[in-house]
Amino acid sequence: DDTAKDTKRPIIVVNGELDRIRTGYYPPFWARTEMQYLKTVVPRFTQAYYIHNFKGSKPAALFRAYPGPWQLYQRDLRTGEMTLMYEQEATITLSEAALNLIPQYWGRQ
C-alpha cells in the first residue's frame, strides 16, 4: 500500500542515502525486504535539494535546487571559490559526474 500516493502527501527524506540505493551500493542480502521496496520507490523521488562534494585533484560539487537544473561546480584549489562548469535539466549521476563531466570540463573556465 502506497500511503503517500493514496493521500497525495509528499514524503520528505533528508540525507536518505538515495544514491546508494539507486546504484546498488548495498549487497543484495542486506535488509532484503526493505531494499526490494526501496528500489521500487526511490526512482520515483524528485530530489528538491541535492549536493555532493567531490574531493581530489579536481575538486567539484554537484548541486540541484528544484525545479532548477543539475549543476556541476569546480572548486579553485587556491581560493576555494566555486565556478559553474556544466549544467543540464536531466539528472546527473555521481558516476557520470566523476568519470565523464569533471574530467571533461574541469579547468576550462
Amino acid making up residue 25 = Y
Can you give the residue ranges of every domain in the chain? 1-45, 47-109
pLDDT at 7: 80
Judge residue 24's burial from the number of C-beta atoms within 10 Å of its C-beta, 0-12 exposed, 13-18 middle, 19 or more buried: exposed
- The C-alpha cell that represents 23 in the structure block: 546504484
CB-based contacts of 18, cutoff 8 Å, min separation 6: 42, 45, 47
pLDDT digits (tens, 9 = 90+) for 37-94: 777 777 777 778 889 999 999 999 999 999 999 999 999 999 999 999 999 999 998 9
Q: How far apart are CA 28 and CA 7, in angstroms?
A: 31
